[in-house]
Amino acid sequence: MASFVNTIVDMQIDSSANNTNPAAVIPKSMVLFVDNQKTNLKQIANNFFTRHFEVRTRDREKKLNVVQLMSEYDGNFSTPVCYLRFYLNRAAKFIRYAEELGRLKDNQEIYRLNCISIYKGFIQRYSDLIGSIQNHETACDRRLFRRSIERMQHELAHVPLNLHLQQLLVSCGDDPSQKFMYNTITLGAPAVHHSHFTHGGLERIKTNEHELNKHLSYLHDKLQDILIFNSDIEDELEYLSQIMANPSTNIDHSILKLSLQRVIRAVDSLLQYASKDLDTTDSSTTEIVVHPLIPTISTEEVLASKDKIHEKAKIFLEETKESLNNDKQIFGVAQLNNLQSIANELESHTCKHIMRHIFQESMEIERYSQSYRERFDIAFSQTVIILNIHIYIFYLFNLENYLLF
């Protein structure tokens, strides 16, 4: 492609005849191209705005028509709400597990009660944030993005600033069949503006975090790993359940069988991970530091339930694996529910067991402090939307190529 001129002049000089902005007029050769892209993006975007540029090559012998198609993402407010709800559900799970542990001894009980109080406060703050975002979205009256003048509103901090989908649709003036498309997402840099940056960014805050002992860090990581394991299992089982519940879905039995085998392996991995000894770390860690004044938790009271749950999981997994070896075996939603039930039992028992160990030394059941995590949530919430959009556009682009060829 020939070199472009260094500057592109936006044709915005008013026509003396009809006072029409030429930049708003799309060439006839590109109307269908633009309309098709609008149709594709209407699944995730709205409020389209187009501008036309005419770009000539350096020798000015050839012309390119360029249309900037800008739109607003439908999920700009709803995606942060979903993200906040995810953390609300996780906090509620922590509270439930801590309450199900019952009264502990001495300092352990103080840590347990403080932990419950911390997460109840967290739930209240995040519930208020969800309400504020939803109320703001309603008040925007079909505007789907957060404006720069709203950057100091702390209740909207999880929503990215000025997020827009940008497409440059390019067509050769001499040969309109030569078409190109360039996708871009524009937004303001993720930041916590309402804090006035008084404590620096996440990296500086992280370096000032209190250094935990190796054993406590190990327990925190293990707790998160268990939650992630089961979250992945839940997502996969929910997807399979939707497929099986929809009679119009035409998927080969062997594909469903492979998917179910993958879930079984995940549940089996969860079982193996839940069976690890909590009193040891891997060989790469240094000496474990344990508070000498806090007695260790007696495991007798949990061994019986642990053995029962693990044995139940092993038996069910073996039965399921054996049944899948029979190609005529028909499985359904009930079997998926049984797998989820097993995974939930493993998660519940193991998380409570880990939390009992954590409460020997701390009331914090996550590695980083609440203030750091909430600051991180803002940054991540503002950027995770980009990933969602990129996945959709990547899927759409590949689908178009498939249909063309």
319: nearest Cα among 297, 342, 301: 342
In a domain, 262, yes or no: yes
In a domain, 250, yes or no: yes
Rounded Cα distance, 132 and 101, in Å: 34
| pLDDT tens readout for residues 238-284 | 888 877 777 665 666 666 777 777 888 888 888 887 776 655 544 33
In a domain, 236, yes or no: yes
Q: What is the CATH number of the domain that holds 354?
A: 1.20.120
In a domain, 48, yes or no: no
Predicted local confidence at residue 290, as pLDDT: 32
DSSP code per residue over 317-386 = HHHHHHHHTSTT----HHHHHHHHHHHHHHHHHHHHHHHHHHTTT-S--SSS-HHHHHHHHHHHHHHHHH
Give the number of other Cβ atoms within 10 Å of residue 336's Cβ. Answer: 19
Q: Give the domain extent around 352.
A: 210-280+298-367
Phi, psi angle pair for 72, to nearest 5°:
-110, 135
157: nearest Cα among 197, 202, 200, 192: 192
Digits of tens for pLDDT over the chain (405 positions)? 333 333 343 443 343 344 556 667 888 889 999 999 999 888 889 999 999 998 887 777 788 899 999 999 999 999 999 999 999 999 999 999 999 999 998 899 999 999 999 999 999 999 999 999 999 999 998 899 999 999 999 999 999 999 999 999 999 877 888 888 898 899 988 888 887 777 677 777 777 776 667 888 888 988 988 888 888 888 888 888 877 777 665 666 666 777 777 888 888 888 887 776 655 544 333 332 333 333 333 444 444 555 677 777 777 777 777 776 665 555 677 778 888 888 898 899 889 989 999 999 899 898 887 778 888 899 889 888 888 887 777 666 655 554 444
Rounded Cα distance, 231 and 51, in Å: 44
Rounded Cα distance, 248 and 363, in Å: 50
In a domain, 331, yes or no: yes
* Torsion sign, CA atoms 309, 315, 318, 323: negative
Domains contained in the chain, number: 1
Q: Which tokens in the block code for residue 401?
A: 């190529």
In a domain, 44, yes or no: no
In a domain, 244, yes or no: yes
Distances (CA, A) of 394 to 33, 354, 401: 18, 40, 11
| pLDDT tens readout for residues 378-402 | 988 988 888 888 777 766 665 555 4
Predicted local confidence at residue 123, as pLDDT: 95
Angle in degrees, CA 279, 281, 282, rounded to 5: 150
> What is the identity of the amino acid at 311?
E
Distances (CA, A) of 234 to 93, 161, 190, 361: 15, 32, 30, 31
In a domain, 80, yes or no: no
**Residues 236/269, Cβ–Cβ less than 8 Å:** no
How many Cα atoms are found within 13 Å in the side-chain-facing hemisphere of 107?
14
Predicted local confidence at residue 278, as pLDDT: 59
